[in-house]
Structure 1
Amino acid sequence: MSLRLILVRHAKSSWDDPSEDDHDRPLNARGREAAPKIGRWLAGRGHVPAEVVSSTSCRTLETWDRMAPLLGESTVMRRDPALYQAPAERMLETLNNCAASPVLMLGHNPGIAEFAARLLDAPPELPRFASFPTCATLVAEFELGDWTEVEFGTGRLVDFITPKQLDG
């Protein structure tokens, strides 16, 4: 049996209001365009989540809201406040508590970039992978039977994309 993770950094957020709390920042125009592009790409490649777990920030939730219509809105979605600005270790704990597969996890840098790199058995030499820009998406597979068995270094790269790559 294998498990599949779809790891997505939130889409580009707005900095229009400097007094706005970081947790409450919405997506900007570029982010509102990027999220459905990634959703279409995932659907077209057959990467449709059975479970979604997201940070509670406005920008991660809005990213999912713009992807969901393309990926099946009946997907179970869980909001996890611990994913807001979470380090890689906390993200792994969250993944270890998931039940279904594929799981789509939405989070933030710098934790998500470190998490992506440490999950894989070999770091890929792909443009922009190390920086994991906004709305970057990694699909990884684990030849394991349960999410509780996932550890750093046990994943295999299946796909990686950024919105700029989809723009051609």
Structure 2
Amino acid sequence: MSAETTRHVVLVRHAKADYPHGVDDHDRPLAERGRKDAPKAGSWIASTGAPLDLALCSTDVRCRETWKLIVGELSQRPRTVYEDRLYEGSAEDLITLIKEVDDEVGSATVIGNNPALHALADALAGETEGDLREQMHRSGFPSAAVAVLTFTGSWKDVEHGVGKLTAYWTPSD
């Protein structure tokens, strides 16, 4: 794949998590609503036709459970890497992680947590289609939200403003 290839970045916030008493934050599972919303997010992602070559998923339980429910809705499962740096990483940490993606990968999804994912979507989106940025800001990037961005170039070139926000979805859509 050439470095001038159009690449897709699909950002997925974990679905609604539960808050069981005495459970460490990293080990929090999905709530009932999350178990319903995650497959909806997967169906929406599948409907966009955006191919997914690689998934970078946080190691926390709610992200792993979200990804498992999403991938069940996809026509093919992308290679999945569970990444500790996604759990409490900032938007800048996530940019660093994305820069490490091999250029043979055309599209990647990142499954993680807020506020980093919302900040990452906002940081990467130099352009947007229609009022997608305003929709994203109004909604606050809720649980199970998905943002799709495109850019042309190498993954190593990912930086603020490089992408175009082409789609945004929330479970209430």
TM-score by length of 1: 0.92
The runs of 5 or more residues in structure 2 that have no matched partner are none
The answer as to 2:127 corresponding to 1:119 is no
The runs of 5 or more residues in structure 1 that have no matched partner are none
Q: 2:162 aligns with which of 141, 154, 157?
A: 154
Equivalent pair of 1:121/1:154 in contact (CA under 8 Å): yes
Equivalent pair of 2:63/2:112 in contact (CA under 8 Å): yes
Counting aligned pairs with the same residue, the percent is 33
Deviation digits for residues 47-91 of structure 1 (CA, Å, limit 9, x no counterpart): 231100011000000000001121145310000001102100000
Does 126-135 or 37-46 show the bigger shift? 126-135
Match of 1:53 in 2: 56
In structure 2, the CA distance between the partners of 1:127 and 1:116, relative to structure 1 (3 Å rule), is closer
| CA distance in 2: counterparts of 1:127 and 1:6, whole angstroms | 14
| CA distance in 2: counterparts of 1:28 and 1:132, whole angstroms | 18
In structure 2, the CA distance between the partners of 1:85 and 1:70, relative to structure 1 (3 Å rule), is same
| CA distance in 2: counterparts of 1:32 and 1:38, whole angstroms | 11
The answer as to 2:10 corresponding to 1:6 is yes
Structure 1's consecutive aligned runs of 4 or more residues displaced over 2 angstroms after TM superposition are 127-130
* SS of residue paired to 2:135: coil
| CA distance in 2: counterparts of 1:164 and 1:35, whole angstroms | 12
Match of 1:107 in 2: 112
The alignment yields a C-alpha RMSD, in angstroms, of: 1.4
TM-score by length of 2: 0.89
Deviation digits for residues 117-140 of structure 1 (CA, Å, limit 9, x no counterpart): 111004622155562111110000
| CA distance in 2: counterparts of 1:117 and 1:66, whole angstroms | 26
| CA distance in 1: counterparts of 2:121 and 2:92, whole angstroms | 11
Report the count of equivalent residues. Answer: 163
In structure 2, the CA distance between the partners of 1:32 and 1:128, relative to structure 1 (3 Å rule), is farther
* SS of residue paired to 2:147: strand
Match of 1:31 in 2: 34
